[in-house]
Amino acid sequence: IEQNRTPHDESFAFDGERWTRIRRLPEACGAMACIALGNRLHLIGGAIGSDWRRSIDWHIVYDPASDRYERRQPLPTARDHTGIVVVDNDIHILGGRVDSFHTNSNLHHSYDAATDRWSFRTPLPTARSGQGCVLYRGKVFVMGGEGTNRVYGQNEAWDPLSDRWEAYAPMLTPRHGMGAVMLGDAIYVAGGGPQMGGGMKSAINESFTLA
């Protein structure tokens, strides 16, 4: 709450009709990456603090059946506002802030839940934070984001088979902090900020598809 300040520890679940409270986080945290793997939720990275905001490397797993959290191997480099996606049962964390969008990261790590181990992968061509991240046609697409005095429109994809990054058509409207999802055979990118920081929002909704 309060524009990247004053994170809280409340957690909720939505069943399609109503929201219910679930166990609070072990620590108040915001801007973390969350994704489902198997029947558990992985919460990775994030930011804590108010006046002295800093990124953290935590990695906790929530089990809905027991309503409890467990610790896992921490993220190798603390950061927040990252991209996250699952590829072949591995969790991938891409880019993000190291304390601030003035010090964005291009790091790309993957996590193997079976061995509880992180691995380095080929870094992003464009260091950024607050970007969209979607698995589409077997490739990890990363689009948008922000940095010092700019908002990115770059749309780049990592190919797991070749372990290489490729450039694709940039976003029509560069934005950060937006929602990005694959639906059918297209990536949809909704909302977000068209300028650095949180002072301006948008209601723009655009889609991208491969020929």
Q: What is the pLDDT of residue 4?
A: 64
Residue-wise burial string across 89-101, b where 16 or more C-beta atoms lie within 10 A, e elsewhere: ebbbbbbbbbbeb
Task: Please give the chain's pLDDT, 211 residues, in tens.
Answer: 776 678 899 999 999 999 999 999 999 999 999 999 999 999 999 999 876 789 999 999 999 999 999 999 999 999 999 999 999 999 999 999 999 989 999 999 999 999 999 999 999 999 999 999 999 999 999 999 999 999 999 999 999 999 999 999 999 999 999 999 999 999 999 999 999 888 889 999 999 999 8
Q: Which burial class, exposed, middle or buried, applies to 185 when counting CB atoms under 10 A from its CB (0-12, 13-18, 19+)?
A: exposed
Q: What is the pLDDT of residue 3?
A: 66
CA torsion angle 27 61 122 84 (round to 10): -80
Longest Cα pair distance anywhere in the chain, in angstroms? 47
Q: What is the pLDDT of residue 198?
A: 81
Angle at 96 between CA 87 and CA 76, to 5 degrees: 70
Whether residue 178 contacts residue 189, with contact meaning beta carbons closer than 8 Å, is answered with yes
Whether residue 158 contacts residue 127, with contact meaning beta carbons closer than 8 Å, is answered with no
Q: What is the pLDDT of residue 50?
A: 75
Say whether 124 sits in a helix, a strand or coil.
coil
pTM: predicted TM-score of the whole model, two decimal places = 0.95
Whether residue 149 contacts residue 194, with contact meaning beta carbons closer than 8 Å, is answered with no
